[in-house]
Structure 1
Amino acid sequence: MNKIDKPQPVTIAFERETRNIPTADITPLRLVTDAMMKSQKYEQIRASVLVGGLVELPVVAQDRSEHGKYLLLDGHLRLAALHEMGATEVECLIATDDEAYTYNKRINRLAIIQEHQMILNAVERGVPEEVIAKVLNVNVANIRMKRRLLTGICSEAVELLKDKHVPMNAFTELRKMKPLRQIEAAQLMVAMNKYSIAYAKSLVGATPPSQLVEGAGPKNVRGLTDEQIALMEQESEKLDREFRLLEETYGDDHLELVIATGYVKRLIENARVVRHMAQHYPELLMEFQKITEPNSVSG
């Protein structure tokens, strides 16, 4: 009979109680630039704090090199908004580990499909559209458009694009295609890492009439002749074949990319290194962060 290993205790990632900490005692591990302070995400966070306070608490860890000080692991834009409002302390979650990227390396700007689901959940809980619009710092019409975002979009295409930053009007173009073609278009968007409205329009233009929904054709792409549209269709089919080939080698290519960036990633996962670079080499730290997480901003 095999010996059963004794279960190992599970380490708690956070202290059980939150703590109010003076903002002056918190050291950010990311630089919040002027461009970030002017971004829509920052305005949304600021409006949310003004209306309902902090929904998601910042995460900090004790600074082992200085008693009574803390390292900010997650919540840089929230802390910046509180500073702007004149707050002198903030309620925080206390992490038991000071590895900065353990918590925020996967945090990213909210994708539009995720925002769509968040709005639906809020409406189902009885939150008025006007309140949601105020919190997100947009008009009510924008909220209503986002509620209808996925009408006419097949579930497989939604799954492919659920964490991608796709413009709302790109979904208008996807609706012109039948479900199978929507899936192909979504796969091409992901493969090319292109989600713009112009690219979505080009995919519609390269779609045979038989794969468009009733009423979406005949196609009339301004500035293109029938011969050019036919050529686009051929190029689209060729690109689709190339995409299938790329799928076969994606695993190996991705592994090589991970290895190539591994050293820099491990370097800036060390909170002490990040703190030192933030104090003495902030520009170099920002470049390192761009290499490993080009789209990530800790809200």
Structure 2
Amino acid sequence: MSADFVSVRGLIFEYGSSRALDEVGFDLPAGSVTALVGPNGAGKTTLLRCLAGLERPLAGSIRIDGVDVLEQPRLAHAKLGFQQDFFGVYDQLSVRRNLLHAAAIQGMNEGDMESAAVWAAEAVSLSDRLEQKAGTLSRGLRQRLAIARSMVHRPRLLLMDEPASGLDPEARRELSGLIRTLGAAGMTLVVSSHILAELEDYSTHMLALRDGHSAQVAVLSGTTAAKPRWRLGLVGDAREALAGLHGMAEVSECEIIDGDVEFAFVGEPLARHHLLRHLVDQGVLVTSLAPTGGHLEKLYMGDRA
């Protein structure tokens, strides 16, 4: 895959006399999940709409997987999906009909539309609701349907504008899991949000916008699926914990910090239980295990300085 799957150069966009984007430029690697952050009015939604080919900038270039979005918008649309900051689903249509409609808009062959709808529903865990009307779904499930509509044609790039807006904590957690799954499957994602803690849960990169200007893309945790970091509180020699963690499939990037051990960990809650049990069986004196958090926020605030 290309190292610059998304490439933006010198992007300028103006609303009347107001410049929303001013010489914005960056590269994003394939398979990355990029947190697009910045204060209100920084130009995040405008940037996403330009990437999606829905707005034409005054100047600059946008290439997605080698395709010039401004010169070949239809070809670019086949490679990307855009989940905007409103649901955009048809309440009176079933989940299946919503997805078939989205597939038709994307110009898919009629023979492929049904299988595409079934795949998209399965990807967002809506397979058991294919015949249910969208208007009867909960807010979280409607959000899932909106995401499924945006990716029914299996895009290589998915743009998401405030996808967690208005969701309850459980729905937010499910959304985070879905984004991690899509990223792990190789899809490139750009997610705009104000909730830094949630972005950190799944993002591999950060792109900050301020007053229409872009900062350098920062790498958070690799270039594929995000790896949240955890801190292991200890009594005694931390090197014993390092030895106990050595070779565990879910664990990587271990380091000793102030007598504790920090490491990247991608396992589910049951895997954390097994990790702790393994360490205790090895005689390691564990006092706590908690996510470190705050890495994205530190980068963001540092960029502000």
TM-score by length of structure 2 reads 0.26
Task: Name the larger-Rg structure.
Answer: 1
TM-score by length of 1: 0.26
Task: Kindly indicate which of the two structures has a greater share of residues assigned to helix.
Answer: 1
Q: Please identify which structure carries the higher strand content.
A: 2
